[in-house]
């Protein structure tokens, strides 16, 4: 198929500089194009297809829901899939997080978290609090509220005049630091930047702090030292600000636990979920909040926020079946086991090739970074365009991986290797 010769598609979605083939079928960890060429979905799309493609249990649940109803407006009817999914989601959350608000994607989940946090401040007589501190680099979504939290000029640049930017602190990129501190000491130092920023902004103006417990595309699967998570939690409690976790990418089993927060026993006030939550079977996300936060807002007159498609019965039926599959197939355990193997294999490559400067992540949220000097983690010169060459080379050999040219605004070439959580040990060999 000669795509270069065909006219550009009118669907603005397909704006990629690199034309791609038409998709055909997808099953398990594989996708075939319309010409029958097979690809390994080595990044689960954009870290979405966690339970793999073509899962029959999910397809059956969707077919049977479709036969009943695909839409009933939430102000006119409650629907069973949404009720059951809310209960199942709450049962997978840390204690007390059992108020679930459904949305259609990650940006909407983050927007909803921002709105609930702000309304909670107003409802509890703390109108002066409106700032949510986030990290740089980071990605929290492309709608204007989520973009104000996002630390990535590439995404926010053109919209600066329209944004009310939120304060940012550096993400804990401890692996880049060259000093005499231990990793744990560096973790504390980065966490203390949150305290400094709260003091700088004025503690009475700060509503919350948002972070991805394991970083996504902006930082390339960044994991902080344990000390970071402990100290950040202490600081949030000390200043009475909400801890909001963006688990849009790291949630739904991707890191080997249902929430990445569980690795550090974090007790967030609000969590944003999407991507693996419906694993690509339907546009779905959720904001999950502590009971007393949501109840205070409801008692003060209700949550002033909503989307037409929120709680859509078909999307919720898909999400419910996806969560059932994550449990039935024990995908958190598989993500841990296969993730360890894949991490070991990637680390083996690092030992062989000096231009692989770092391999990191948790479970099956993994990334590696290319550098010109591993000792100082010097980025490759821009002209090399390593991320394009590597991604294209892999693509031409039937492997899809996900790359970012920058670590947010910082220089660096990192590559996400995040196959579906159903990936077997043999398939790790195939990916390698
Ligand atoms: N938050 C994180 C951590 C993400 O990785 C993303 C998407 O990549 C989003 C939010 C936004 O999600 P969506 O693209 O579904 O709006």
- What's the average model confidence in pLDDT over 328-340? 98
> Please, which pLDDT band fits residue 15 given cuts at 50, 70 and 90?
low
User: 38 alpha carbon to ligand 1 midpoint, in Å?
Assistant: 27
d(CA 357, CA 138): 21
Read off the pLDDT of residues 213-268 as tens digits, 9 standing for 90 and up: 999 988 999 999 999 999 999 999 999 999 999 999 999 999 999 999 999 999 99
Read off the pLDDT of residues 18-32 as tens digits, 9 standing for 90 and up: 678 999 999 999 999
Strand 97-103 with 131-136, pairing = unpaired
d(CA 302, CA 4): 52
pLDDT at 252: 98
Ligand 1 pocket test target in 104, 145, 216, 319 with most atoms within 8 Å of CB: 216
Q: Residue 176 has what DSSP assignment?
A: G
Q: Which atom of ligand 1 is nearest to the CA of 110?
A: 10
Token output for 311: 């709680």
Read off the pLDDT of residues 76-104 as tens digits, 9 standing for 90 and up: 999 999 999 999 999 999 999 999 999 99
Establish whether this prediction's ipTM goes over 0.95.
Answer: yes
Token output for 404: 């970012």
Does residue 210's CB lie within 6 angstroms of at least one atom of ligand 1? no
Does residue 317's CB lie within 6 angstroms of at least one atom of ligand 1? no
- What's the average model confidence in pLDDT over 155-179? 93
User: 141 alpha carbon to ligand 1 midpoint, in Å?
Assistant: 5
d(CA 324, CA 295): 28
Map out the domains of the chain as residue ranges. Answer: 23-54+330-431, 60-328
Looking up tokens 């030292």, which residue turns up? Answer: 225
Cis peptide bond upstream of 137, omega within 30 = yes
Which candidate, 145, 198, 125, places its Cα nearest to that of 168?
198
Which candidate, 246, 323, 307, places its Cα nearest to that of 87?
323
User: 275 alpha carbon to ligand 1 midpoint, in Å?
Assistant: 7
Query: Which residues on neighbouring strands pair with residue 406, listed in sequence order?
Result: 411
User: 150 alpha carbon to ligand 1 midpoint, in Å?
Assistant: 10
> Please, which pLDDT band fits residue 9 given cuts at 50, 70 and 90?
low
Provide CB contacts within 8 A for 229, sequence distance 6+: 187, 213, 264, 266
Right CATH for 23-54+330-431 from 3.30.360.10, 3.90.1150.10, 3.40.50.620, 3.30.70.3270: 3.90.1150.10
Contact status, residue 407 vs residue 370, Cβ threshold 8 Å? no
- 60-328 CATH: 3.40.640.10
Strand 242-246 with 206-211, pairing = parallel
pLDDT at 299: 97
Q: Residue 173 has what DSSP assignment?
A: -
If you average pLDDT over every residue of the chain, what do you get? 93
Q: Whose CA is nearest to atom 5 of ligand 1?
A: 249
Does residue 218's CB lie within 6 angstroms of at least one atom of ligand 1? no
CA 413 from centre of chain: 19
User: 263 alpha carbon to ligand 1 midpoint, in Å?
Assistant: 21
């Amino acid at each position: 198929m000669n795509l270069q010769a065909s006219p550009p598609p009118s669907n603005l979605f397909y704006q990629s500089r690199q034309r791609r083939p038409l998709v055909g079928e997808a099953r398990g960890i594989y996708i075939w194009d319309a010409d029958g060429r097979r690809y390994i979905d080595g990044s689960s799309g954009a870290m979405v297809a966690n339970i793999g493609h073509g899962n029959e249990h999910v397809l059956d649940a969707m077919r049977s829901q479709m036969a009943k109803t695909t839409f009933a407006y939430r102000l006119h009817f409650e629907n069973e899939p949404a009720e059951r999914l809310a209960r199942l989601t709450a049962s997978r959350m840390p204690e007390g997080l059992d108020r679930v608000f459904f949305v259609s994607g990650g940006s909407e989940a983050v927007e909803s978290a921002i709105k609930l946090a702000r309304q909670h401040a107003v409802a509890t007589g703390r109108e002066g609090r409106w700032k949510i501190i986030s990290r740089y680099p980071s990605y929290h979504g492309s709608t204007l509220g989520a973009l104000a939290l996002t630390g990535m000029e590439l995404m926010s640049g053109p919209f600066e005049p329209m944004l009310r930017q939120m304060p940012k602190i550096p993400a804990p990129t401890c692996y880049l630091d060259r000093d005499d501190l231990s990793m744990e000491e560096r973790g504390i130092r980065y966490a203390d930047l949150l305290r400094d920023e709260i003091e700088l902004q004025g503690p009475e103006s700060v509503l919350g702090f948002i972070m991805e417990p394991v970083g996504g595309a902006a930082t390339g699967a960044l994991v902080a030292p344990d000390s970071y998570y402990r100290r950040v939690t202490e600081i949030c409690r000390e200043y009475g600000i909400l801890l909001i976790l963006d688990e849009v990418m790291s949630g739904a089993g991707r890191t080997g636990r249902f929430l990445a927060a569980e690795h550090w026993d974090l007790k967030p006030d609000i969590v944003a979920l999407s991507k693996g939550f419906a694993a690509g079977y339907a546009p779905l996300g959720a904001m999950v909040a502590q009971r007393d936060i949501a109840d205070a807002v409801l008692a003060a007159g209700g949550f002033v926020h909503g989307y037409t498609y929120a709680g859509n019965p078909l999307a919720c039926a898909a999400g419910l079946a996806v969560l059932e599959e994550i449990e039935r197939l024990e995908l958190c355990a598989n993500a841990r086991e296969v993730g360890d193997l894949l991490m070991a294999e990637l680390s083996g490559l690092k030992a062989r090739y000096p231009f692989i400067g770092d391999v990191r992540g948790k479970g099956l949220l993994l990334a590696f970074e290319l550098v010109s000097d591993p000792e100082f983690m010097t980025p490759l010169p821009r002209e090399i365009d390593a991320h394009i060459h590597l991604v294209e080379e892999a693509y031409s050999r039937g492997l899809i991986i996900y790359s970012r040219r920058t670590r947010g605004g910082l220089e660096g070439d990192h590559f996400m290797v995040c196959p579906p959580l159903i990936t077997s040990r043999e398939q790790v060999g195939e990916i390698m």
